[in-house]
Amino acid sequence: MIIGAGPAGLVLSHLLHLQGVESVVLEARDRTYVESRVRAGVLEHGTMELLRETGVGARMDAEGLAHGGTELRVDGRSHHVDFAELTGKSIVVYGQQEVVKDLIGRRLADSGDLRFEVGDVQIHDEDTDHPRVTYTHEGTAQSLAADWVVGADGFHGSSRAHVPGQVFDRQYPFAWLGILAHAAPSSAELIYAKHDRGFALHSMRSPVVTRNYLQVHPDADLADWSDERIWDELSTRLAGEDGFTLTRGAIFDKGITGMRSFVHEPMRHGRLLLAGDAAHIVPPTGAKGMNLAIADVRVLSHALGQWAATGSTEGLDAYSDTALARVWRTTHFSWWMTSMLHRFDGYDATSTPFDERVQLSQLRYTVSSRAAMTTLAENYVGLPFTTGWSYR
């Protein structure tokens, strides 16, 4: 039983199917909502390879925007971080909702059991060999027995409450105001800008749609941010000595998202296993959330496949520790990017001029040192998977 039809739940269901393991996926929302909710948009090298290897990467390759690097703007100057030259790898910009569409289409084509608009999902007997999940679907109360239950129901889901453990949580003193606009990208690659007025990010979703972000206070009111004010502020923070001009267009979506780092340990209790946002959250600065969720279920699918084929729980017993090693490495990278690029003065009462000088020194070192740029590039394109496994 997999609770949640986001990237984690859908990828896991697909990978299990390729190994001959049956699963049922329960999702609270309807299919249209799931396929249209806008989330992350950057896929790591390993995520791309996994989607290709398992037969769900064709549309990504046809429509995704391949990027061989990114731009960091410091003191108004642009510095190119060349992923391809530093690591031999790249990333692709391809929206999470597009990944979800591809996976849902493939699971349904493979006669996968996806159940949308379920309610009152409850997990029972997870600390026994016979866990159950009860829920309502199409007005009828139902109960299903399973060998294992996977909670991939996101940060606000109910699965995590069934896993005793320790929580590590950090709230950042700022938020992101994000927009989607009908405007051609103003740059061939993402631009991360450190500015005296706060952080800004120029990204894209397609050749005609851009995704832009501004650092704002967590209690900022969208009503105070007219479209014109947003474009003016983005233009100011993204400006540089290269004469950069931001292409404007009609904004069709905007919202404010809080920033936090969150990890729950362990990621397993009995026959219940957590994956993705149900177990951990990272700030979006490093573009890691969806990639980390998919890395979780790659490990988990191997462990469940091993159990189904041999009865061995060796992989399942190691799952939490294996996944958490990557989770903490990614948590550090996302914290590092966030701490290095955002303004803390005026947002965090404990921030001092000393902190500001140290932050700026770190950023200037990063853009001037090949070793530091390589560290950034290696983490951004995604660290290698530790297990030698193929679905071919």
Which residues are catalytically annotated?
Answer: 67, 192, 284, 288, 380
- Give the whole-angstrom CA distance, residue 134 versus residue 140: 11
User: What angle do the packed helices 7-18 and 96-109 form, to 10 degrees?
Assistant: 30
Q: φ and ψ at 247, to 5 degrees? A: -75, 125
Specify the residue for token string 């700026």: 360
- Give the whole-angstrom CA distance, residue 176 versus residue 149: 34
Contact present, 292 and 274 (Cβ < 8 Å): no
User: What angle do the packed helices 289-310 and 45-53 form, to 10 degrees?
Assistant: 40
Locate the DSSP E strands across the chain. Answer: 2-3, 24-26, 42-43, 65-67, 69-74, 77-82, 91-93, 113-115, 118-124, 132-137, 140-145, 149-151, 166-182, 191-194, 200-206, 209-216, 250-265, 268-269, 272-274, 280-281
Residues 6+ apart with CB under 8 A from 362: 340
Reduced to 3 states (helix: H, G, I; strand: E, B; else coil), residue 345 is coil
Q: What is the dihedral of CA 186, 187, 193, 199, to 10 degrees?
A: 50
- The CA-based diameter of the chain, rounded to the nearest angstrom, is 64
- Give the whole-angstrom CA distance, residue 276 versus residue 281: 8
- Give the whole-angstrom CA distance, residue 273 versus residue 268: 4
Nearest to 22 by CA among 132, 143, 133, 111: 111
Q: 114: how many CB neighbours lie within 10 A of its CB?
A: 20
If phi > 0 it is left, if psi is from -120 to 50 it is alpha, else beta; for residue 153 that is alpha
